[in-house]
Amino acid sequence: MKRAFLLIIIAGIGIIAVQCSSNQQPANSNNVATADSNAGKAKTDTVVVLAGINSKGIGRFKNIQLTHPLDEKMASNGQDVYQTKCFACHKLTKELLVGPGWYGVTDRRAPEWIMNWITNTKVMLDKDLAAQADMVMCLIRMPNQDLTDEQARDVLEFMRKNDGKK
């Protein structure tokens, strides 16, 4: 009896995971080719995804100034943070692990949204539409990672680098 119940849950998660990855990825298994394709993006856009791109989220960060070229030192510090605190749940590809893969995250989300999410996770999960949509597909709440503002900014730079931004 218990086992049948477990199987149903596992099957349910499987279905959601499939939906989740098909939402995130344009119909192309090649990670690199579709990265900057607006056409691919338009097809997968939903109201919620658009809300994510246009929204700055909820928190202290209202205006993040990005540098061009990106700051290699910050990106490298951000990579260290990723490897110690984020790696267990996030891949650098588009693939879902526990949380969404990071590839393309800087196209899906405004820099302020990312910074607010990292530093104000609980409030965003309670109130932000795009964060809640992520939670629906991932099934767990991302725990607050207690990063300093500086570490959060470093991670953002690492995400930009991972997305091939210059």
Nearer to ligand HEC by C-beta: 127 or 141? 141
Least CB distance to ligand HEC at residue 143 (A): 5
**DSSP helix/strand/coil, 68:** coil
156: Cα separation from own chain's centroid: 11
Closest approach of Cβ 134 to ligand HEC, in Å?
4
Q: Exposed, middle or buried, 17 (CB in 10 Å: 0-12/13-18/19+)?
A: middle
In the complex, which residues of this chain contact ligand HEC (CB under 6 A)? 81, 85-86, 88-90, 98-100, 105, 108-109, 114, 117-118, 125, 134-135, 138, 140-143, 145, 147, 155
Structure token pair of residue 25: 């990825």
Residue with smaller CB distance to ligand HEC, 42 or 148: 148
Least gap, CB of 77 to ligand HEC (angstroms): 12
Distance of CA 148 to the CA centre of its chain: 19
7/66 with CB nearer ligand HEC: 66
Q: How far is CA 9 from the centre of its chain?
A: 25
- Asked if residues 54 and 47 have their Cβ atoms less than 8 Å apart, the reply is no
Instruction: State which residue, 74 or 81, has the beta carbon closest to ligand HEC.
Output: 81
